[in-house]
């Protein structure tokens, strides 16, 4: 049985303004309208004999990841939380160490949560080809058959053929210039480095101990000193922060004598930019990929995404236009790699648009900041059935709650009472309070905040069922 390891870190800043630091691309529905990229990664494994996935993600994304797993009926799946990013070698080490503790040395299938695979049958065929190789102690990487010269990917040069299919790895090479990339593709001996792997947990740990023992020591200490928090595994922050940053390629795959490459020809893309997404989308006769409420006239070779309102284009070519509730991006398709610089500038200027959307997800539901001004803010809040916000207090703001649908159970100081549709209640400044949904349908309410300071850090939590400080 395969044990999937899904690496769901990263910020996806080149896909701003859809991808934000607290809601990055792996948790968004991009190429698939129904599933997020992470969910699609897990769903395409349905044809294999696999156990529950191990998800590795950033501490900030834990509730978003848990909710998306819950939607797939995988509440019991393990979620490893990284307190800081240390690249792929330590992340996989954590998963491998946990796997050998919980299972009998499983074969790990390591996948990125934000890759697109268009031909699932071909993908599963490559996985099945790799399995006996990994079973025999090889460290398998998947080399994507290149469709064109590409300077944005690293390459793998194939060596001699091996039993069961695949090739020895002759060498890994860095991202080339265009001339070199053309030579690689024309030779037929080079493949894109997909960043997907398969190997036994113990074999990876053996090779890591041989080549980078300090990484393995730090990860073992971080896991041993960690703690279980519901379905989250929290590793020790100090021990993991002391771990060296390194990719699995540099730490192990480029050094081991047991690396094997299995070709993958399955319509793969890492969706690393808006132009990459445009390339894989269905297009109209003018070469446009249009999403949402879009009117286009004399528009060609463009990607237009309307999230919240009508977007109309006239007489444009080769553009990316992305509209969200709080930001609009207009870029030439040839310059979308520079979107990352916009995100960096927003962060430097202290703007919140780099961090999150207007809609913010919490373990109990979500809120949408629909209006704000001097000394007031208005939110639309959705609380899922059975969920409860923390018992809390604010030093600087009062709150009015108006229930739109469902039933709210309100704790307001020493009093607890129900508030139903078209009713309201008031929480004074400094009052200890809580809000929960005792019903079976989502609770929808409007919250009007007023006061001298309305930041999210004006929350003193006394009790929280989700373990937040």
Residue 269 phi/psi, 5-degree rounding, is: -155, 145
- 258 within 8 A of 137, measured Cβ to Cβ: yes
What whole-number distance in Å separates Cα of residue 185 and Cα of residue 182?
A: 5
Q: Kindly state the helix (H) or strand (E) to which residue 139 belongs, with its residue range.
A: strand 139-144
Q: What is the pLDDT along the chain (469 residues), one digit of tens a residue?
A: 799 999 998 888 999 999 999 999 999 999 888 899 999 999 999 989 998 999 999 988 998 999 899 999 998 999 999 999 999 999 999 999 999 998 889 999 999 999 999 999 999 999 999 999 999 999 999 999 999 999 889 999 999 999 888 999 999 999 999 999 999 999 999 999 999 999 999 999 999 999 999 999 999 999 999 998 877 999 999 999 999 999 999 999 999 999 999 999 999 999 999 999 999 999 999 999 999 999 999 999 999 999 999 999 999 999 999 999 999 999 999 999 999 999 999 999 999 899 988 888 888 999 999 999 999 999 999 999 999 999 999 999 999 999 999 999 999 999 999 999 999 999 999 999 999 999 999 999 999 999 999 988 899 999 998 877 6
- 14 within 8 A of 337, measured Cβ to Cβ: yes
Residue 353 phi/psi, 5-degree rounding, is: -65, -20
* pLDDT at res. 6: 97
Distances (CA, A) of 88 to 9, 110, 226: 9, 10, 19
Strand partners, 434: 411
Enter the CATH code of domain 359-463: 2.60.120.10
What whole-number distance in Å separates Cα of residue 403 and Cα of residue 181?
A: 60
How many CA atoms within 13 Å lie on the side-chain side of 209?
10
* pLDDT at res. 229: 80
Strand, helix or coil for residue 257: coil
How many CA atoms within 13 Å lie on the side-chain side of 143?
29
Contacts of 1 (CB under 8 A, 6+ apart): 49, 50, 51, 106, 107
Whose structure tokens read 């698939």?
Answer: 32
Residue 434 phi/psi, 5-degree rounding, is: -155, 160
- 153 within 8 A of 192, measured Cβ to Cβ: yes
What whole-number distance in Å separates Cα of residue 225 and Cα of residue 234?
A: 9
* Cis peptide preceding 357, ω within 30 of 0: no
Distances (CA, A) of 96 to 100, 136, 192, 213: 6, 17, 25, 15
* pLDDT at res. 465: 87
Residues comprising the chain, all counted = 469
Classify strands 443-451 and 397-405 as parallel, antiparallel or unpaired.
Answer: antiparallel
399: Cα separation from own chain's centroid:
33
Whose structure tokens read 């294999």?
Answer: 48
User: Which string of DSSP letters, residue by residue, matches 35-69?
Assistant: S-HHHHHHHTTTTS-B-PPEEEEEGGGHHHHHHHH
Enter the CATH code of domain 2-269: 3.90.550.10
Handedness of CA 239, 244, 249, 254 (dihedral sign): negative
Burial of 368 (0-12, 13-18, 19+ CB in 10 A): middle
What whole-number distance in Å separates Cα of residue 408 and Cα of residue 385?
A: 10
Structure token pair of residue 433: 């309070």
CA proximity to 138, closest of 197, 72, 185, 92: 197
- The CATH 2.60.120.10 domain(s) of the chain lie at 359-463
Return the number of other C-beta atoms located less than 10 Å from residue 129's C-beta: 18
* pLDDT at res. 63: 87
Classify strands 78-82 and 328-332 as parallel, antiparallel or unpaired.
Answer: unpaired
Strand, helix or coil for residue 356: coil
Model confidence, pTM: 0.89
Q: Kindly state the helix (H) or strand (E) to which residue 379 belongs, with its residue range.
A: strand 376-383
């Amino acid at each position: 049985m395969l044990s999937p390891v899904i690496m769901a870190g990263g910020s996806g800043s080149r896909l701003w303004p859809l991808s934000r630091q607290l809601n990055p691309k792996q948790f968004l529905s991009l190429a698939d309208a129904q599933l997020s990229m992470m969910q699609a990664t897990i769903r395409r494994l349905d044809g294999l004999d696999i156990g529950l996935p191990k998800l590795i993600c950033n501490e900030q994304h834990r509730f978003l990841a848990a909710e998306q797993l819950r939607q797939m009926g995988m509440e019991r799946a393990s979620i490893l939380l990284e307190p800081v990013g240390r690249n792929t070698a330590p992340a996989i080490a954590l998963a491998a160490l946990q796997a050998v503790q919980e299972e009998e040395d499983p074969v790990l299938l390591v996948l990125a949560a934000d890759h697109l695979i268009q031909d699932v049958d071909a993908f599963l065929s490559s996985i099945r080809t790799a399995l006996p190789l990994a079973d025999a102690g090889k460290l398998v990487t998947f080399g994507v058959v290149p469709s064109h010269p590409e300077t944005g990917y690293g390459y793998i040069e194939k060596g001699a053929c091996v039993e069961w299919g695949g090739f020895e790895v002759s060498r890994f090479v860095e991202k080339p210039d265009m001339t070199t990339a053309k030579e690689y593709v024309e030779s037929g001996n080079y493949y894109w480095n997909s960043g997907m792997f398969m190997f036994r947990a113990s074999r990876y740990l053996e090779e890591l101990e041989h080549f980078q023992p300090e990484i393995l020591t730090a990860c073992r200490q971080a896991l041993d000193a960690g703690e279980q928090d519901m379905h989250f595994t929290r590793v020790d922050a100090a021990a993991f922060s002391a771990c060296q940053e390194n990719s699995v390629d540099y730490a192990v795959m480029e050094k081991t004598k047991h690396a094997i490459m299995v070709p993958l020809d399955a319509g793969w893309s890492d969706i690393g930019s808006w132009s990459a997404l445009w390339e894989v989308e269905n297009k109209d006769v003018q070469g446009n990929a249009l999403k949402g409420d879009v009117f286009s006239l004399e528009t060609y070779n463009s990607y237009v995404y309307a999230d919240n309102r009508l977007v109309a284009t006239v007489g444009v070519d080769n553009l990316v236009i992305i509209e969200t509730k709080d930001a609009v991006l207009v870029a030439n398709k040839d310059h979308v790699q520079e979107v990352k610089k916009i995100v960096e500038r927003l962060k430097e200027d202290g703007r919140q648009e780099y961090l999150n959307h207007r809609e913010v997800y919490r373990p109990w539901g979500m809120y949408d900041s629909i209006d704000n001004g001097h000394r007031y803010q208005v939110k639309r809040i959705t609380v899922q059935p059975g969920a409860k916000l923390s018992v809390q207090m604010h030093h600087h703001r009062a709150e009015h709650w108006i229930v739109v649908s469902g039933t709210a159970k309100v704790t307001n100081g020493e009093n607890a009472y129900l508030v139903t549709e078209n009713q309201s209640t008031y929480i004074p400044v400094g009052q200890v309070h809580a809000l929960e949904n005792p019903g079976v349908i989502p609770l929808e309410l409007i919250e009007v905040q007023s006061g001298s300071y309305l930041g999210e850090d004006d929350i003193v939590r006394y009790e929280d069922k989700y373990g937040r400080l």
